[in-house]
Structure 1
Amino acid sequence: MKAVAIRPGTPNSVHLQEIPRPSINEIEGGNGVLVKVLKVGVDATDREIADALYGNAPEGDDYLIIGHECFGVVEEVGANVKRLKPGDFVTATVRRPGGSIYDLIGTNDMTSEETYYERGINLRHGFMTEYFVDDQEYIVRVPEGLSHLHVLQEPMSCAAKAIHQAYEAQRRMKVWSPKVAYVLGSGQIGLLATLSLKLRGLEVFTLSRSEAPNLKASIVEGLEATYVSTKVTPMKELVKQTGKPDLIIDATGFSPIAFEAMECVGHNGVVVWTSITGGDRTTQVPSDKINIEWVLGNKLLLGSVNANRTHFEMGIRDLALGDVMYPGVLSKILTNPVDGMENHAEMMRLLIEDDNALKVYVNVAE
């Protein structure tokens, strides 16, 4: 069967790869689930892997099948699979366990080991293929009523985790009740974080470079949040208008802005970094000022990567409620379908060249 892969360490090596069709018997204990892939989303992570900034092939292979945002339908299940049945719509988590205590309790996304395993990213093949098999533990059912939001399940899980982790960490404050949040970046994770924060009742300002009117601004406004162009109102100017926010989620992929957020968050506040920056950019920061303000202000910086099953389920609940609260808004994120894996060159062109391509995804099968 066909798959789309890269050769790690070789820039611009995206190609079609022939691989064997998998079997549920590859998974021990009768826990295998065979999934027919319907759609796969791609994002900046896939672009950076294609640029050979990171990503490694599984042991024994010289290629890495890409794609970590999947949506499919169950075709076959093992004898001991209880959660799923043929015909169910599903997505799949991305991180796979290593050997740390965190991996052993199902929080693979919090591994303490230097080596990590992520499908489509590092040392495990991804989902951009006709079929894949995995353990039922990593397959998450998607309600049929959310099938129109298909590949948003994985990025939604990342947004849900980032916000959940902030609240979990802030239990230290006993009565932390944030009122104002900034979301930096209006890509898919930024927009979905905007949704999740609105559902929690916060006043949300979503910051992006582009001036309104534009599609991202219309989505933010459709979620009843406030869109702010940093070309018009830089973040430090916005702080003068709103006061320092209690929570900042960075989803820009631009490290200078991530560090600038440290100067803008309020006392007892949290900055969550979700960006993966694969380059070698450097930036200067007012380190003494940040140091004293963070110590005296009891501020917290939190890194959040990937998501486990719990966060996928949280994200699905947020998508379901958000789709009802703000009908028709979330589907606007799904901007650029590409028909068929053989059109992988067009997929990459959209990722690299089209600034208006908010969410690129491949229609693998009907």
Structure 2
Amino acid sequence: MAIWLVGPKTLQIQPYKLPPLGPQDARIRIKAVGICGTDVHFFKELKVGDYIVKKPIIPGHECAGIVEEVGADVKHLSPGDRVAIEPSIACWQCHSCRQGRYNMCPDLKIFSLPPVNGVLANHIVHPAKNCFKLPDTLTFEEGAMCEPLSCAIHACRRANVGVETNVLVVGAGPIGLLTMLAAQAFGSPRIVVLGIKDSQLEVAKTLGADGVVKVSRNIDDVEKEVEEVKNVMGARIDVSFDCVGNSKTMSTSLKATSSGGRVCLIGIRNVNLTAPLTDNIAIREVDLVGIFAYTNTWPLAIELLRSGKIDVKALITHRFGFSQKEAQEAFETSADDGNAIQVMFNL
């Protein structure tokens, strides 16, 4: 059985025919699934950027579970193993895959990105190489959080965050808060977080942000807010992470970043952005990079959680079970402009 998105804000629990178990696959009983921002956009609008839901689809890609069966060629997993699951499948043959950047694979398939079904189901079949054993000390929920944490780890790698890198995080939702935690783990000495909700900024302070700034959605406020951000940072802003992805947040990120610094675009709220590129990228040599998903991050994500260098438990604010009623409530809670940060299913 699975939860299917069958229309705008409409979910139904229906049968799900699993693909056959291949020799290099594992069949996994799903135990925890988190709701991602992209899942919410699909739930509300049936599209994110160029990805459009054209037929019923199973949402969800942040997940962990228990191995129930493995294919004949699988040696590193056994039935009963607890695993965190990387939800992407690459071809492993193209130039990008051979260079280690399999997130750029032209044939990449990711759970819940149309037309690929997601993981909000009793069971899934997935390549065993993308299933990573969880230490006994970590919960299934923490295993599911490896997926959004991997986005943050990949962003910190792309932005070269280190012990001399002061960081601005624009956006205090789940990805923004995880990016802050990842930047801390990468050694950033000072981190300031921007957000529009007092509740999220309070969480950022609790998790160790060195400063927070409440901002508006009004693009006319950018100049004033940038000055406040610089005052709160009290030092160079070497890297800014735009964890929202609209014209205002990109403008803020570019203008706040010190000359010679770097902006990393993580969020994809809007496909087309208007931002002051010439003054910042050309004249001030601010580098602009982006990320799509992640590459080779699960072992590090699991180790950061196991070692206690990152603790994600405080981000999980709401929990739901596996039923049509609770699925509807879970997605509406995540889509609501309230105090939810990470909404989690326990199956």
Name the TM-score, length of structure 1 as normaliser.
Answer: 0.82
Cα 1:291–1:149, aligned 2, differ >3 Å: closer, same or farther? closer
Shift of 1:181: 0.7
Counterpart residue type for residue 292 of structure 2: V
Cα 1:109–1:344, aligned 2, differ >3 Å: closer, same or farther? same
Query: What are the ranges of 5 or more consecutive residues in structure 2 without an aligned counterpart?
Result: 217-223
Shift of 1:252: 2.3
**Would you say how many aligned residue pairs link Structure 1 and Structure 2?**
332
Q: Does 1:352 align with 2:339?
A: no
Partner of 2:312: 330
Partner of 1:293: 283
Q: Mapping of 1:89-238 within 5 angstroms?
A: 89-98=82-91, 100-104=94-98, 107-111=101-105, 113=106, 116-147=108-139, 149-167=142-160, 178-202=164-188, 203-211=190-198, 214=199, 216-231=200-215, 234-238=225-229
Conserved? CA contact 1:186–1:206, under 8 Å: yes
Note the alpha carbon deviations across 1:300-354, whole angstroms, 9 max, x for none: 111101123x112222222223x3x57xx53111111011132221112102225
SS at match of 2:320: strand
Partner of 2:238: 246
Conserved? CA contact 2:110–2:116, under 8 Å: yes
Give percent identity, aligned residues only.
22
Q: Distance in 2 between matches of 1:219 and 1:177?
A: 23
Q: Mapping of 1:251-266 within 5 angstroms?
A: 251-266=243-258
Cα 1:122–1:101, aligned 2, differ >3 Å: closer, same or farther? farther
Note the alpha carbon deviations across 1:177-211, whole angstroms, 9 max, x for none: 63311111122221111112112221111221223
RMSD: 2.6
Shift of 1:106: 5.3
Cα 1:250–1:157, aligned 2, differ >3 Å: closer, same or farther? same
Counterpart residue type for residue 123 of structure 1: P
Instruction: Please list every run of at least 4 consecutive aligned residues from structure 1 whose deviation after the TM superposition is greater than 4 angstroms.
Output: none
Conserved? CA contact 1:70–1:91, under 8 Å: yes
Cα 1:87–1:16, aligned 2, differ >3 Å: closer, same or farther? same
Note the alpha carbon deviations across 1:84-111, whole angstroms, 9 max, x for none: 2222221222232256311355532123
Counterpart residue type for residue 317 of structure 2: T
Cα 1:64–1:104, aligned 2, differ >3 Å: closer, same or farther? farther
Q: Distance in 1 between matches of 2:262 and 2:278?
A: 19
Q: Distance in 1 between matches of 2:110 and 2:187?
A: 33
Q: Which has the higher helix share?
A: 1
Partner of 1:34: 27
Name the TM-score, length of structure 2 as normaliser.
Answer: 0.86
